[in-house]
Homo-oligomer: A and B are copies of this chain.
Amino acid sequence: MMKGKGFILVTNDDGIFAEGLDVLVSELKKRWDVAVVAPESEKSAVGHAITLSDPLRVKRFSKNGRWEGYAVSGTPADCVKIAVFALLDRKPDMVVSGINLGSNTGINVIYSGTVSAATEGTIIGIPSIAISLGTYTDPNFVPAARFATKVVGAVLRKGLPRNTLLNINVPNVKSESEIRGVRLTRQGMSGYAESFDKRVDPRNRVYYWMEGDKIIEEEDEGVDDVALLRNYISVTPIHYDMTNYGVMEELQSWFNKVEWEK
């Protein structure tokens, strides 16, 4: 197949050694030019962090001669910034972040390094998608990589709405035929049952491990968590304007009624 026009920046938050990145890059490389700029180590749950207080270091990386890239001593968002503003000699046509081992749905979206890289691409003005696989064990990244290819093709042809990225979650299945379809979804608002496991180390000092299980009480397949659970690919349009416009009027009247001097 002749390569299409398109230059794709690929990054992730599981780090440049991750299998999900490799499967994605290998698939995208069949059709487009691909640059890889990814964290040198795992950066899970870094949220939309950027590195201001430390310098960033960059190393050339080769994946067994199959593809090359840059390993960066920073977060996924750092990788996108440094790729565009320092490392690459032309601006990418798209940013693709993933494939993450583990879903990024519901409240998790705000903690997600995978999503933050695509957000950073969007801020810079590059159409961007994040793609995650709904499992932590026995991953089959191939269906997600193939779906990413379809979305990249579509976005290169048709673009994306302004200031909007696609947050894609793909169910983990042995065979693609188990996937029931694609759903356009909204971010779920399900909470967590959280706790901390308090332990004592060999030097008698206390430390804590964070624990938490998501409690999905929703039933609507228009919600990312639910769609994914039911073996649909969920696609959620995400933006970075966190203003809650829906409460503006209520809050204005709240404001007017507050006796500020009390």
Contact = CB atoms under 8 A, between A and B. Distances in A.
B237 A248 contact: yes
A171 B198 CA distance: 41
A161 B58 contact: no
A62 to B, nearest CB: 18
Nearest to A252: B184
Q: Interface extent on A, as a size class?
A: 35 or more
- Number of copies of chain A assembled together: 2
Interface stretch (A22-30, A90-98, A137-145, A239-247): A239-247
A153 interface: yes
A164 B109 CA distance: 17
A55 B209 contact: yes
B53 A50 contact: no
A182 B252 CA distance: 11
B123 A191 contact: yes
Contacts of A50: 45, 47, 111, 210
A157 B48 CA distance: 33
A188 B208 CA distance: 38
A192 to B, nearest CB: 8
A250 B161 contact: yes
Interface string A68-101: 0000000001100110011000000000000000
